[in-house]
Amino acid sequence: MKSTEEKTEAATPKQKKEAIQKGQVAKSQDINSALILLAGVLLLLFLGGSMIFHMKDTMGMVCKNLFYEDFDADTFVSLIMNISMKNLKGVLPILGGFMIVGLIASYSQVGLVFSRKALIPDFKRLNPISGAQKLFSKRSLVKTAMALLKLSIMGGIAFISIKNDLEPLMELLSMRTEAIFTSASGLVFGITLKISIILLILALLDFLYQRWQHSKDLMMTKNEVKQEAKQTDGDPMIKARIKNVQREMSRKRMMQAIPEADVVVTNPTHYAVALKYDAATMDAPKVIGKGVDLIALKIREVAAKHDIPIVEDRILARVLYSSIEINSDVPPKLYQAVAKVLSYVYQLRNIVANR
C-alpha cells in the first residue's frame, strides 16, 4: 500500500548519493544547447575564414585534378587523402571547440558522474499509463511553456532583425556573390548571437528550476528518514540489546576476577571495590572489580566465599568507584589510603598464618 505521508524532510546525504549513483542529477540540457550555439557563433566568427579558405583550396584541387590525363586509382586515392586532410584542418578546430564547450557545460552542472545504473534499461518507462501521466504532469507543462517561450523569443528576434535590415537585404540583389555572402553572413551572425545570449539566460533559469525540482523530488517523509537512520546506525532496540549483552559479559569477566583480589573495600553495603596488588609484577595497586547495590552485594558474596578480606572505608570506596575504571591502576594521590588498607590486610594474613 502506497504511503500517503507528506514529504517534508530534506534529502539525506545517503539519499543524494544513491540518486547520483542512479544518474539522477540536476541538469539542464538547455545550458548545453545554448553554450554550444554561442560557441558555434564565436568559433565561426574567428575560424570561419580559415574554414572557407580550406574549402576554396579543396575545390581548386578537385577542379585541377579533373583534367589529368593519367587519372588512375593511385591518383584518386592521393586526391581523396589530400581533400580529407584539408577539410579536417578547417573543420577539426570548430568541432573540437564544440566538444570542449559541451564537456565544460556538463561538468559545470553535475561534475564528474559515471552511473552504470543509468545504462540499465528501465522497462517501466514503456508503461503507457505512467507515460500519459508524465505527459500531463507539472514538469511537462513547464517544459512545454519554456519551449514555446524560446520559440517566441527566437521568432521575435529574427523578425525584428530582418525588419530593421530590410533595406540592406533588398540591396543584396544588386551585389556581387562575395558581397552577398558577406552581408548575409553578418545578418545571420547578428541574429544568432542575440538568440544564443537570450537562450543562455533562459537556460540558467531552467537550471535553477531543475535544481529546485530535483531537491523537491528527493525530499523524504519523516518515516523514511527514521528508517534510513535505523539502517545506517542500526535499530535502537537491537543496539540496546547488544549493549546489554556486552555489559553482562563484562560483568561476568569481572566477577571471575574477584577471587584473585587481595581486598574488597566497601561503603559498607552500597559500594564495593576489589583491589589487587603484586609487588613483583605491578607498579601500583589495580582495581579489578567494582559495583553498587546488587553488584556490590554479589562482589561481597564472592569475596566471602573465597576468604577475601572485606574492609569498610566509606570515603575510599566512593572515591575508588567514581574515579577509577576496572583494570586501571590506582592514581598516586590515593597510594597512602590504599596502602593503609593493604597493610591492614597483610597484618591480618600474618596473624592468621601464625595461629
pLDDT tens digits in sequence order for the chain, 355 residues long: 445 677 777 777 777 777 777 767 777 778 888 888 888 878 777 776 676 676 777 776 666 655 555 656 776 677 778 777 777 777 777 778 878 887 888 777 776 666 665 556 655 656 666 656 666 667 677 778 877 887 887 788 777 777 776 666 666 666 666 666 666 667 777 777 888 888 888 888 888 888 888 888 888 888 887 777 776 665 667 677 777 787 788 788 888 888 888 889 998 888 999 999 888 888 889 988 898 888 899 988 998 888 888 888 888 889 998 888 888 898 888 888 888 888 888 888 787 666 6
Domain ranges of the chain: 25-217, 254-354
At 266, phi and psi to the nearest 5? -125, 175
C-alpha cell at 355: 595461629
Contact 273, 321 (CB under 8 A): yes
Distance CA 95, CA 86 (A): 15
Beta strands in the chain (DSSP E): 263-266, 271-276, 286-292, 310-312, 328-329
pLDDT at residue 194, rounded to an integer: 81
pLDDT at residue 1, rounded to an integer: 43
C-alpha cell at 232: 545506517
∠ CA 61-63-64, rounded to 5°? 65
pLDDT at residue 225, rounded to an integer: 79
pLDDT at residue 141, rounded to an integer: 79
Give the homologous superfamily in CATH for domain 254-354. Answer: secretion proteins EscU (3.40.1690.10)
Please indicate, yes or no, whether the overall pTM of this predicted structure exceeds 0.75.
Answer: no
Please say whether the dihedral angle defined by the alpha carbons of residues 343, 348, 353 and 355, taken in this order, is positive or negative: positive
Report helix, strand or coil for 272: strand
Distance CA 168, CA 186 (A): 11
Burial class (CB in 10 A: 0-12, 13-18, 19+), 192: buried
Question: Among candidates 284, 290, 288, 266, which has minimal Cα distance to 275?
Answer: 288
C-alpha cell at 221: 517523509
At 273, phi and psi to the nearest 5? -130, 125
Single-letter amino acid code for the residue at 97? G
